[in-house]
Amino acid sequence: MDYKKAGVDIEAGYRSVELMKEHVKSTMREEVLSNIGGFSGAFSLKRFMSMENPTLVSGTDGVGTKLKLAFLLDQHDTVGIDCVAMCVNDIACAGGEPLFFLDYIACGKNFPEKIAEIVSGVAEGCRQSGAALIGGETAEMPGFYPEDEYDLAGFAVGIVDEKDLITGKEIKAGDVLLGITSSGIHSNGFSLVRKVFPMEKEALNEYKEELGKTLGEALITPTRIYVGALKAVKEAGVTIKGCSHITGGGFYENIPRMLPEGVRAIVKKDSYEVPALFRLLAKEGNIEEKMMYNTYNMGIGMVLALDPADVTKAAEALKAAGETSYVIGSVTDGEKGVDLC
């Protein structure tokens, strides 16, 4: 008996590392001090010592049951983007610049080419957000996961000068809510998605006129990364008072998270057109409107609270950065929470 006969192929692990090296190298920053394959990742903070009070911010998350879709479609090069996005968007939400990312892949059987494909997506997410992929782990766990399945999670660290932290404390009545569009369902609510749509290749490969693509293509579209968008707003001289990443819990859970006590957000549902994918999901699943807004981003992946005088400048900066935004509501005095009308 040996480890390979027990289900763990050490040689496949070595092969995976070799195949992913080119992807990892493409994410490197000058602050990275460690080499690929070491026991830990080292990152120098010397460049940030000019900050008044350099503050680390972090985020961790996974892809969730959207992975089931990747298994069915046998497409593994985009879920890594989702994994990075879910972490770095939270860091950007606090005003931070993502510095580095680590991933964790657990699988039933290590197929080196598949692992490299997953990591290629992680690397793409890191490139989009400016984070270095400085480490990770691939754990082969036979008997715990089916051979053709895996889980994917990650952890990111960023930095911000304490005075530039986005805390929401200064939000007040009269401020404006500016929503930045999403790329689709992102990486939340897929347990419900999988109950509504048939999770079969034939159904997923069916072209949907209203979507302009197949159902599978629409569903697996990776989460938009907003790091560059928020950086563009900041560089335009706009102070972002509050920022809400619309993830699991939709509008009802996430918008109040940026609000201080004594103010309430008012969101106008007709301020933008809800994308066709969400309308199709609600129709096919007979899902009531409030549940949709309580589960999904409904086409708005990030919400900024701004002084009214800064809205035009912020919208122009977002447009120049390739983003689409809409004024979706405002802030009023009241009990902390959100109303959709």
The DSSP 8-state label assigned to residue 106 in this structure reads E
pLDDT, tens digit, 9 for 90 and up, residues 90-122: 999 999 999 999 999 999 999 999 999 999 999
Indicate if the pLDDT at residue 6 is higher than 90.
no
Decide if 68 contacts 199 (C-beta within 8 A). yes
Once rounded to an integer, what is the mean pLDDT over residues 258-275? 97
Percent of the chain with pLDDT over 90: 91
Nearest to 244 by CA among 97, 89, 126: 89
> Which pLDDT does position 269 carry in this prediction?
96
pLDDT, tens digit, 9 for 90 and up, residues 40-88: 899 999 999 999 999 999 999 999 999 999 999 999 999 999 999 999 9
DSSP character string of 12-39: HHHHHHHHHHHHHHTT--TTB-SPTTSS
> Which pLDDT does position 280 carry in this prediction?
97
What's the chain's average pLDDT? 95
pLDDT, tens digit, 9 for 90 and up, residues 112-153: 999 999 999 999 999 999 999 999 999 999 999 999 999 999
- Residue ranges of domains in the chain, CATH in brackets: 10-164 (3.30.1330.10), 176-340 (3.90.650.10)
The token pair at 222 is 């990776």
Indicate if the pLDDT at residue 300 is higher than 80.
yes
Chain Cα centroid distance, residue 50: 29
The secondary element (H helix, E strand) that includes residue 47 is: none
Using a 10 angstrom Cβ sphere, with 0-12 exposed, 13-18 middle and 19 or more buried, the burial of residue 63 is: buried
Q: Which residues contact 305 (CB under 8 A, 6 or more apart)?
A: 168, 171, 175, 176, 177, 240, 241, 242, 243, 244, 258, 259, 265, 331
pLDDT, tens digit, 9 for 90 and up, residues 217-264: 999 999 999 999 999 999 999 999 999 999 999 999 999 999 999 999
- Predicted confidence band of residue 188 (pLDDT cuts 50, 70, 90): very high
Percent of the chain with pLDDT over 70: 98
Residue 35: CB atoms within 10 A of its CB come to 9
How many Å apart are CA 48 and CA 65, to the nearest integer?
37
How many Å apart are CA 251 and CA 253, to the nearest integer?
6
> Which pLDDT does position 56 carry in this prediction?
97
Indicate if the pLDDT at residue 1 is higher than 80.
no
